[in-house]
Structure 1
Amino acid sequence: MRSICVYCGSNAGNKPTYTERAIALGNHLAKDGLALVYGGGNVGLMGIVADAVLEAGGEVIGVIPEQLVEWEVAHKDLTRLEVVANMHERKARMFDLADGFVALPGGFGTLDEMFEMLTWRQLGIGDKPCAFLDVEGFYTPLIAMLDRMVEERFLHADQRRDLWHGDDIDAMLGWMRAYQPALASKWMDEKRRNALR
């Protein structure tokens, strides 16, 4: 594992712990020699995690759509900043650059990006680890919703188990390094085999 994509808010939230955890994650990535791939912004938790990696001597690759550059939110001091045409290209490029995906607290964009990666993995398009790094229970209601999806048979239990959720950065990175892209992929392979019968 050489790089981690972090999805997070373009706002910093209303609790100091959001900033503190973003800085902690950035420091861990730099210390572990993992490059940060992220949305290229200089605002909110996005800018905070990027600055933390840079200040700790790490590598940061930003991928930002042209529209957001025009809004003057692009981070100017990254190791590398790639400008793409739109959000669809941004997601695809971040997928190519990253070996795993982490969601810090955020809004619509954060959930959109993470759930697209989970969907791609479900469909067999990708097999990279995905994790929700929680801060003071921010993602607990969302994880409960995923459990509800399993209970109501809209999500396979293996796919739910194939997703990390917690607040320990070391444990998360350890899980990501040891990740075996088995559960969701095996489930999709079984679905394909059954469809051919």
Structure 2
Amino acid sequence: MATQSIVVYCGSSPGTSSVYKEVAVELGAKMAARAIRLIYGGGGFGLMGTVANAVLQNGGEVTGVIPNFLADLEVAHNTLTELHFVETMHERKYKMVQLAKGVIALPGGYGTLDELFEILAWRQLKIYDGPIALLNINGYYDLLLQQLDRMVTDGFLKAENRALLIVAESVDETLKLMEEFWLTL
């Protein structure tokens, strides 16, 4: 039985480099080995499906949360430990973080960035208190991190709020930083 839970935000596409899939598989396997339940958007494709499959294939637990309209388009993963159906994308995001003690973002597109920035805003406003990590695979988020630093420099983001985002470049480092955060609670 899982002792901890992490939301993973990532692409519904696999991306163009095999390194993204490799890291998604590694993350899923290592979450399962640590008895960390995966909470995610419930899809069966792209990096989302890859992480979920890796957790399941390694004996871990996976909870998906998917809006009915996406499930109706036949994108729901059918072999999860648990699958919740909700009405809206907002309900999906809220339910996912209610079930989790931390968040990790892998590469993705608009949806991933939407989820990442909403949870960072919630953390800044003290609506959410878990760790939020960006797994910067292959420098994927380098330009985004530069933008966040520019926001601090130009006075639109406080340095202490910029520091709410944990940045790591490997699965092991990401999970280590998440576990260290949990120990401080």
Q: Which residue of 2 aligns with 1:192?
A: none
Q: Does the 8 A contact of 2:137 with 2:170 survive in 1? A: no
Of 97, 122, 125, 2:124 maps to 122
Tell me how far apart the structure 2 counterparts of residues 37 and 31 of structure 1 sit (CA, whole Å): 16
Cα-to-partner distance string for 1:86-134 (whole Å, 9 max, x where unaligned): 1010011001001000100000000001110000011111111101101
Unaligned runs of 5+ in 1: 183-197
Shift of 1:169: 1.5
Q: Which residue of 1 aligns with 2:19?
A: 17
Correspondence list, 1:1-197, <5 A: 2-179=4-181
Aligned length, in residue pairs: 182
Tell me how far apart the structure 1 counterparts of residues 143 and 80 of structure 2 sit (CA, whole Å): 34
SS at match of 2:122: helix
Tell me how far apart the structure 1 counterparts of residues 170 and 156 of structure 2 sit (CA, whole Å): 29
Q: Percent identity, aligned pairs only?
A: 51
Tell me how far apart the structure 2 counterparts of residues 98 and 127 of structure 1 sit (CA, whole Å): 10
Runs of 4 or more consecutive aligned structure 1 residues displaced over 6 Å after TM superposition: none
Tell me how far apart the structure 2 counterparts of residues 132 and 40 of structure 1 sit (CA, whole Å): 20
Shift of 1:162: 2.2
Q: Does the 8 A contact of 2:43 with 2:64 survive in 1? A: yes
Q: Does the 8 A contact of 2:120 with 2:164 survive in 1? A: no
* Letter of the 2:46 counterpart: G
* Letter of the 1:10 counterpart: S
Shift of 1:27: 0.6
Tell me how far apart the structure 2 counterparts of residues 95 and 18 of structure 1 sit (CA, whole Å): 23
Tell me how far apart the structure 1 counterparts of residues 146 and 54 of structure 2 sit (CA, whole Å): 31
Tell me how far apart the structure 1 counterparts of residues 27 and 154 of structure 2 sit (CA, whole Å): 34
Tell me how far apart the structure 2 counterparts of residues 17 and 114 of structure 1 sit (CA, whole Å): 21
Unaligned runs of 5+ in 2: none
Q: Does the 8 A contact of 2:65 with 2:86 survive in 1? A: yes
Tell me how far apart the structure 2 counterparts of residues 5 and 90 of structure 1 sit (CA, whole Å): 12
Q: Which residue of 2 aligns with 1:191?
A: none
**Rg: which structure is higher?**
1
* Letter of the 1:8 counterpart: C
